[in-house]
């Protein structure tokens, strides 16, 4: 495959990842969010495979498969089960209204490009132009955690952040060493399980998964 075409595909996939990130920012329905998250994982996995092919780093194939298994199949499945069990597929309330969130997201993307411009000039990797997108994805994930009230959206935001980090690792240095990646993947899986268990407990304690309720835990003075 021509390296230029690879770079083109890479950029295209980066754009899709960013698009899904924005999609998650505005999506109000739970299932919609999980679907978008699945799509993001798929793009990520494809991107990893292509980068691995172009750069000749074969361990990236394993990462790619791992991503596919975890973020496209297993985690969405867990989230589906969670949503069904807890019956929380109703619409998600946000703290700030959606257009405002979008504007902040756009500002973050511009900020990321501004931040990464010196890196782009120094780097000679195929994937250098996507670094800014990766950073933007991380920040949008964090923004999502800030603007949503619901505990399940919090974890999706967290996972989206992790996606961004993974993306950044692939595009900045052709991926982390395999051991690290395996470790991170395992961490994510365990985090998802722990979140799941906690959600059940929170649900039984507060009868809701609205994290505003948790402010009641604060010590009164």
Partner 1 sequence: MNIIVSSVLLLFLSALLAPLFKSRQRLLINASFLLAAIASLLGAAGGIWVVGAGITSKLILPVGLPDLPFHLRLDPLAGFFITVICLLSLFVSLYSIGYVKGYLGKRPVTSLVVFYGLFLAGMLMVVLADDALFFLVSWEVMAAASYFLVMFEDELIENRRAAFLYMIVAHVGAIAILLSFGIMAGLTTGFESFSGYTFDAMRQAEFPLQWATAAFLLAFFGFAAKAGVVPLHVWLPEAHPVAPSNVSALMSGVMLKTAIYGIVRVSFDLLGGFPWWWGAIVLIFGLISAVMGVLYALMQHDLKRLLAYHSVENIGIILIGIGLSMIFTSYNMPLLAALALIAGLYHTMNHALFKGLLFMGAGAVLHATHERNMEEMGGLIHRMPWTAALFLVGCVSISALPPFNGFVSEWLTFQAFLLSPALPGPLLKLLIPLGAALLALTGALAAACFVKAFGVTFLGHWRGSRNPRVQEAGPTMRLGMILAALMCLFLGILPTAIIEWMDILTEQLVGDKIGTTAGAFGWMWLTPIASERASYSGSTVFLGILAVVAVVYLLLHVKPSAIHRVPIWDCGFAKINQRMQYNAASFSMPIRRIFGFLFNIKEQVKLTPRGVHPAFPMRLNYYLRIRDRFWGWLYKPVVETSFRLSRRVGRLQQGRIQAYLIYSFITIIVLLVFSR
Put residue 57 in one of left, alpha, beta given phi > 0 → left and psi -120 to 50 → alpha.
beta
For residue 107, what are its two tokens? 């500002």
Q: Give how many residues touch partner 1 by CB under 8 A.
A: 20
Asked if 143 is part of the footprint of partner 1 (rule: CB under 8 A), the reply reads yes
Q: Which of 149, 165, 196, 208 binds partner 1 (CB under 8 A)?
A: 149
Nearest distance from residue 149's CB to partner 1, in Å? 8
For residue 192, what are its two tokens? 């998802």
Nearest to 14 by CA among 181, 161, 127, 159: 127
CA–CA separation, 69 vs 131, rounded Å? 24
Nearest distance from residue 211's CB to partner 1, in Å? 5
Asked if 147 is part of the footprint of partner 1 (rule: CB under 8 A), the reply reads yes
HSE-CB of 153 using CA atoms within 13 angstroms: 32
Closer residue to partner 1, CB minimum distance, 103 or 186:
103
Asked if 73 is part of the footprint of partner 1 (rule: CB under 8 A), the reply reads no
Closer residue to partner 1, CB minimum distance, 91 or 212:
212
Asked if 217 is part of the footprint of partner 1 (rule: CB under 8 A), the reply reads yes
Inter-CA distances, 85 with 88, 137, 188, Å? 8, 29, 21
Asked if 184 is part of the footprint of partner 1 (rule: CB under 8 A), the reply reads no
User: What does the DSSP 8-state code read for residue 220?
Assistant: P
Q: Which of 118, 122, 204, 207 binds partner 1 (CB under 8 A)?
A: 118
Asked if 154 is part of the footprint of partner 1 (rule: CB under 8 A), the reply reads yes
Asked if 95 is part of the footprint of partner 1 (rule: CB under 8 A), the reply reads yes
Applying CB under 8 A, which part among 3-11, 18-26, 110-118, 188-196 lies near partner 1? 110-118
Nearest to 170 by CA among 71, 92, 67: 67
Q: What are the counts of helices (DSSP H) followed by strands (DSSP E) for the chain?
A: 8, 0
- What's the angle, vertex CA 28, arms to CA 168 and CA 102, rounded to 5? 55
Applying CB under 8 A, which part among 73-81, 111-119, 187-195, 200-208 lies near partner 1? 111-119
Residues that bind partner 1 (CB under 8 A): 95, 111, 115, 118, 139, 142-143, 145-147, 149, 154, 211-212, 214-218, 221
């Amino acid at each position: 495959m021509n390296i230029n075409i690879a770079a083109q595909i890479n950029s295209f996939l980066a754009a899709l990842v960013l698009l899904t990130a924005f999609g998650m920012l505005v999506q109000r329905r739970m299932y919609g969010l999980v679907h978008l998250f699945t799509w993001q994982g798929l793009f990520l996995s494809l991107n990893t495979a292509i980068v691995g092919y172009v750069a000749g780093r074969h361990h990236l194939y394993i990462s790619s498969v791992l991503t596919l298994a975890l973020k496209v199949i297993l985690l969405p499945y867990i989230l589906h089960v969670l949503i069904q069990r807890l019956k929380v597929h109703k619409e998600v309330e946000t703290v700030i209204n959606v257009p405002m969130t979008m504007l902040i997201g756009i500002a973050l993307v511009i900020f990321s490009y501004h931040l990464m411009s010196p890196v782009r000039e120094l780097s000679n990797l195929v994937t250098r132009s996507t670094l800014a997108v990766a950073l933007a994805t991380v920040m949008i994930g964090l923004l999502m955690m800030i603007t949503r009230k619901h505990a399940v959206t919090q974890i999706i935001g967290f996972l989206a952040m992790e996606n961004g980090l993974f993306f950044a690792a692939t595009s900045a240095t052709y991926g982390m060493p395999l051991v690290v990646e395996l470790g991170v993947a395992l961490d994510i899986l365990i985090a998802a399980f722990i979140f799941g268990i906690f959600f059940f407990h929170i649900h039984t304690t507060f009868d809701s998964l609205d994290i505003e309720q948790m402010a009641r835990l604060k010590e009164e003075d």
